[in-house]
Structure 1
Amino acid sequence: MHPETVLLLVLAGVAVVVAARWLGDRTGLPSAALLTVAGLVYGLLPGPNLALDPEFVLAVLLPPLLYSAALDSSLIAIRDNLRTVVGLSVLLVLVTAMVVGVGFALWVPGATLAAGVALGAAVAPPDPVAALAVGRRVGLPPRLVTLIQGEGLLNDATALTLLTVAVAAATGDGFSTWSALGQFALSAAGGVLAGLAVAHGIRPLRRLRRDPLSSNAISLATPFAAYLLAESVHVSGVLAVVVAGLVIGHNAPYWTSGATRLQTDAVWRLVDFLLEGVVFLLIGNQLPAVIGGLGEYAPSTVVVAAAVTVGGVLLVRPLWLWLTEHAPQALHLRLGAGPEAEDGDPRTVPRQLSGREITVLSWAGTRGVITLAAVFTLPLSTDAGEPFPARDLLLFCAFLAVLVTLVGQGATFAPLVRRLGLRADAADGARLRNQARVAAVEAGLTRLDELQAEQHDHVDDAAIESVRGALRTRLDRYRRRLEVLSEAEGEIPMSPRYEAALRVRRAVIDAEREELLRWRDLGRLPDEGLRTLERELDHQENLLPSRPA
């Protein structure tokens, strides 16, 4: 493809991604669904299309997306809900793959059990990007966010490992359950070890990571290092990336500077925004490729295969959630309790999911690019030189599952959550944050008392009193806020006085910024000085909350 054509496609892609974000913010529709539809429309137009290279997706696009999601997740929250997360990310993937595989073997002419399981493995893992974006916007409860996040982080490893086993069976000597389980266990354990090795391997670099630019370079390279290490020893690269991200995200606050965290967070948000946009555009753009090979199949065969695939994807998930949540308590694995957990600790056995929560989790199973990347890795032929069983039909069914869930479920997820009235208690979250603020300020006041008692020569009493006064002012503000929040339920109470104060502070910052620009335009302040002072004002503005919390 000509360089100018590539550049034009890149610029057009960025424009569409930005436009979808803008349209999604104003209509409430998920940008993932809008981008997929945009890719579909472009795929039907004359002109060059971008073919999905599965190796490129798995090795280049997937590691940074998974790593960023892992950094943004909570290792403690996933541990506390480990039973449900493991059930969704491992067992549900295996069950879905087997249901689709058996359905293909029974009702789809020309398909084999191994080929059906390969398709089932590809369509089994949900991609939580669309559901999480919508869920956070509508205020989904934290536990459901954790479950969706944890499932999305871990299920890809299960699916890709099972896919490898199923493809080997379809092209070789057949499907062996025990061989599949052994290979899965080995791949998973190796992936965890590889991820831990990378997470601990970068710890000696923590002095270097205090420099924001060096830290960003290391952070961007880490997911690829984890993936390459794991793949080089033939274990799960996906799981290695996830484990590395969870461990590093949990431990990084101990040894990274504030400037590093601010810049790293901004960099990863930009990476997520662009890569997710590219991924969803690529999904829609594959329509010509998956439809082109359907001519050799009877319409009835296509309909049956589509019904088996989409039915398995949509029906197995809610049935699994209901059965596992209503199983006898004795059958529940007591996973998720830390070594310090005692009787009565709510983390020992998480509470049962309600019917509304099961409904929301069932509708959060949107499929994404990992499904298409996985199914596009199916070989063209078997070891005997025969065509891979029903390969073009498998591609179409996988694409249809992605389209139905990503556009159908993605576009209706927010209305469903609102209709069920399943929202996080915003006041409770604000109350907890203010309690933490009070505790942090009190710790700072205690440290000031210790410094004053130690009577260091370089510690000035006037400086201590100045800092103490500022801390006490903040402490009084947080305590007053707690008094208001202590009686609130559901929504955060709005304070006209507080909002007025925020408007005044923003107006003052705007006036300061305008005066600095006037000085620059008059030639009294060089641009370098302007940028330094603007950063100071930007940090002050960034500290102002959009809502009282």
Structure 2
Amino acid sequence: MDLTLVVVLGVISIVFVAAFSERLNLAAPLSLVLVGIGLSFLPGVPHPEVEPELILAGVLPPLLYSAAVNMPMVDFRRNIRPITGLAVLLVVGSTLGAGWLFHWLVPDIGWPAAFALGAVISPTDAVAATSVGRRLGLPPRLLTVLEGEGLVNDASALVLLRSAVAAVAGSVSVWGIVGEFAFAVVVAVAIGILVGYVNVRVRALLGNAVLNTAISFVVPFIAFLPAEESGASGVLAVVVAGLVTGHLAPRHLRATDRLAETVNWRTVAFLLESGMFLLMGLSVKTLVDEVHKDGSSAWHALYIGLAASVLVILARIVFVGPLVAGLYREQRKAARFKPRLESTQAVLRGDKDIPAVTERLDKASPRRVAHFRKRLDRAAADVEFRLTETLGWRGGVVLGWAGMRGAITLAAAQTLPQDTPDRALLVLIAYVVATVTLLVQGLTLPAVIRAARVPEEDPGKLRREYVRLMGELNDAARSLLDDPALEDPGNGPFSDRVLDRVRSDVRVPAEASANRPAPDHAESVFQYLRLRLRVLTEQSGRLQRARSSGQYSSEALGRAQTSLDVETARLEQLADR
């Protein structure tokens, strides 16, 4: 069948299945896999063969970049311990345990190939889990941990897979693997930071939404390729570049550019993500035929795959217990540390006198005191986060069960060398693990969430926080408008009519002003646009300071950012006419 027709039918199928899944209240990835499996056994249905390198080097980087850009840096930093535990320690443990199991059940493949297959089935795919979790109102911290794990664990698994594949062809020492892992992480982080920073600074010079979005499509590969060529982790470099870009973009990129990029990237990520799950289902018939052609038994692969699925599920559940206990200890430590922070903050405000602290502050320069105050406020916000945003054993139950594998597992399995003993059998085993965990855990996850009775996010709390944040932004706007030195550069002071109109806009949320007519007189209109954009710029600056302080949740910050961006983009379009 013509490739163009296959792509057209694939996109139509993806959209249709996704829309139907919403009506059934079912995660779209699960539906796509089931549909793909059913279609794979129908006569006449094409079974497209996609090179695994195309998925790992062509599909995975943009998917990870798209997710990382939308991951708030503050949330990632605050949850770095559970994310690292799940994405690194659990992946290493699962690789070793699964490798031992595979070598025991299929001794002819040897230890390197066994560990290679263990690395293949170790990383989880958080897409299905987070889609179900958002629909059922899981707490933001739990969703952040799942998303963060999904961003990082692919890098860990692929580095381990690379070492295991190298061991198949030769000898690799344990210390060599540790050194390679450290090198891959350090170099990838450095490349990701550099690419993310340069990306934002260069795109800020373009001033065109179309050109900006076009450049953003190649950024993941700009980070991926040099990292891979240097022997580091390309996917980790992509993740870091995405995190840096998402953190810096509100400061340097225009609102119009960011809104356009967001919509386009959502569409691209949806098609790539859904296409991988559909392709995963369509692959089952081809994999079974290859196993039969190789003289092996598909039932044997099913038996081993089920055993490996049980192993990785149990390993995750066992690992999550100490992880949650560690978070409890972190919470108790934060509770003990909180009074000391509050006392130091009281000294800075002048409400309390601690001689040792006061003496040090008196000797410090104003700049150092301001820097210390900023760090102290951030530490206080982090402590408050640990005390209020807890996972608990209920969240631990969900976290332990949300370990589904996905299409990346199958693509990674396809990269095993062609001369690997029983290669077709190993690839089918990986497929069984990915499919079983995805369907069994994915379909039962809603029931587990309800049974665990995980507290839902309080919409009233978010609403109150958003109103408080918007009040702070509006205070910043009023301070600008009440400045006696305020004037329109090159045109003198702003007219009273324009000032009154903008003051009126500031008293309501920004999105409400979009429905009000602008002043009638042409010069007043342009003055109004210039002043309103200056106010929005001032509010955006205050929002960035609020983001850095960590005193507001990412949900409230994101809603406020969207509100400012929509209004700014509308006015920028009017000003450009």
When normalised by structure 1's length, the TM-score is: 0.80
Q: Verify the 8 A CA contact 1:71 1:249 in the aligned structure 2.
A: yes
1:441 and 2:474 matched: yes
1:425 maps to what in 2? Answer: 458
Evaluate the alpha carbon distance shift between residue 442 and residue 293 of structure 1 in structure 2; reply closer, same or farther with a 3 A threshold.
Answer: same
Within 5 Å, which residues of 2 pair with 1:306-345? Answer: 306-326=305-325, 340=376, 342=379, 345=383
Displacement of 1:54 in angstroms is 0.8
1:468 and 2:466 matched: no
1:391 and 2:423 matched: yes
Q: Verify the 8 A CA contact 1:74 1:146 in the aligned structure 2.
A: no
Task: Write the letter of the residue equivalent to 2:289.
Answer: G
Distance 1:168 1:130 in 2: 32
Distance 1:400 1:112 in 2: 21
Within 5 Å, which residues of 2 pair with 1:107-506? Answer: 107-173=105-171, 176-295=173-292, 296-297=295-296, 301-302=300-301, 304-326=303-325, 340=376, 342=379, 345-346=383-384, 353-381=391-419, 388-422=420-454, 423-450=456-483, 452-454=484-486, 457-474=492-509
Distance 1:271 1:328 in 2: 36
Evaluate the alpha carbon distance shift between residue 236 and residue 474 of structure 1 in structure 2; reply closer, same or farther with a 3 A threshold.
Answer: closer
Q: Verify the 8 A CA contact 1:132 1:148 in the aligned structure 2.
A: yes
Q: In structure 2, the residue corresponding to 1:111 is in which secondary structure?
A: helix
Displacement of 1:258 in angstroms is 1.5
Displacement of 1:393 in angstroms is 2.0
Q: Verify the 8 A CA contact 1:208 1:215 in the aligned structure 2.
A: no
1:498 maps to what in 2? Answer: none
Evaluate the alpha carbon distance shift between residue 300 and residue 248 of structure 1 in structure 2; reply closer, same or farther with a 3 A threshold.
Answer: closer
Task: Write the letter of the residue equivalent to 1:414.
Answer: P
Q: Verify the 8 A CA contact 1:40 1:285 in the aligned structure 2.
A: yes
Deviation string for 1:370-405 (max 9, x for gaps)?
Answer: 111111000011xxxxxx133222111110111112
Deviation string for 1:333-376 (max 9, x for gaps)?
Answer: x99x9965658824579976322111111222121121111110
Task: Write the letter of the residue equivalent to 1:280.
Answer: F
Within 5 Å, which residues of 2 pair with 1:505-544? Answer: none
Q: In structure 1, the residue corresponding to 2:144 is in which secondary structure?
A: helix
Q: Verify the 8 A CA contact 2:203 2:215 in the aligned structure 1.
A: no
1:82 maps to what in 2? Answer: 80
2:551 maps to what in 1? Answer: none
Evaluate the alpha carbon distance shift between residue 299 and residue 199 of structure 1 in structure 2; reply closer, same or farther with a 3 A threshold.
Answer: closer
Evaluate the alpha carbon distance shift between residue 262 and residue 79 of structure 1 in structure 2; reply closer, same or farther with a 3 A threshold.
Answer: same
Distance 1:183 1:396 in 2: 29
1:481 maps to what in 2? Answer: none
Evaluate the alpha carbon distance shift between residue 109 and residue 8 of structure 1 in structure 2; reply closer, same or farther with a 3 A threshold.
Answer: same
Distance 2:59 2:74 in 1: 27
State which drifts further: 301-310 or 220-229.
301-310
Distance 1:24 1:390 in 2: 37
Distance 1:369 1:299 in 2: 19
Q: Verify the 8 A CA contact 2:320 2:396 in the aligned structure 1.
A: yes
2:549 maps to what in 1? Answer: none
Q: Verify the 8 A CA contact 2:128 2:442 in the aligned structure 1.
A: yes
More helix by share: 2
Displacement of 1:434 in angstroms is 1.6
Deviation string for 1:278-337 (max 9, x for gaps)?
Answer: 1111111111232124343467853552233111221111110012333598899x99x9
Distance 2:424 2:487 in 1: 78
Runs of at least 5 residues in structure 1 that lack an aligned partner in the other structure: 382-387, 479-504, 506-538, 544-549
Distance 1:271 1:430 in 2: 31
Distance 1:166 1:66 in 2: 24
Distance 2:166 2:325 in 1: 36
Distance 2:230 2:388 in 1: 36
Evaluate the alpha carbon distance shift between residue 299 and residue 399 of structure 1 in structure 2; reply closer, same or farther with a 3 A threshold.
Answer: closer
Runs of at least 5 residues in structure 2 that lack an aligned partner in the other structure: 338-373, 516-565, 571-577
Distance 2:487 2:503 in 1: 16
Distance 1:345 1:444 in 2: 30
2:48 maps to what in 1? Answer: 50
1:100 maps to what in 2? Answer: 98
When normalised by structure 2's length, the TM-score is: 0.76
Q: In structure 2, the residue corresponding to 1:110 is in which secondary structure?
A: helix
Distance 2:12 2:303 in 1: 39
Displacement of 1:415 in angstroms is 3.3
Q: Verify the 8 A CA contact 2:324 2:393 in the aligned structure 1.
A: no
Evaluate the alpha carbon distance shift between residue 327 and residue 81 of structure 1 in structure 2; reply closer, same or farther with a 3 A threshold.
Answer: closer
2:36 maps to what in 1? Answer: 39
Q: Verify the 8 A CA contact 1:209 1:256 in the aligned structure 2.
A: no
Q: Verify the 8 A CA contact 2:302 2:432 in the aligned structure 1.
A: no
Task: Write the letter of the residue equivalent to 1:420.
Answer: A
Displacement of 1:65 in angstroms is 0.6
2:59 maps to what in 1? Answer: 61
CA RMSD in angstroms comes to 2.9
Distance 1:77 1:64 in 2: 21
Task: Write the letter of the residue equivalent to 1:433.
Answer: Y
Evaluate the alpha carbon distance shift between residue 171 and residue 30 of structure 1 in structure 2; reply closer, same or farther with a 3 A threshold.
Answer: same
1:91 and 2:129 matched: no
Evaluate the alpha carbon distance shift between residue 178 and residue 285 of structure 1 in structure 2; reply closer, same or farther with a 3 A threshold.
Answer: same
State which drifts further: 195-204 or 92-101.
195-204
Task: Write the letter of the residue equivalent to 1:413.
Answer: L
Distance 2:470 2:327 in 1: 41
Distance 1:455 1:410 in 2: 59
Q: Verify the 8 A CA contact 2:41 2:285 in the aligned structure 1.
A: yes
Q: Verify the 8 A CA contact 1:52 1:373 in the aligned structure 2.
A: no
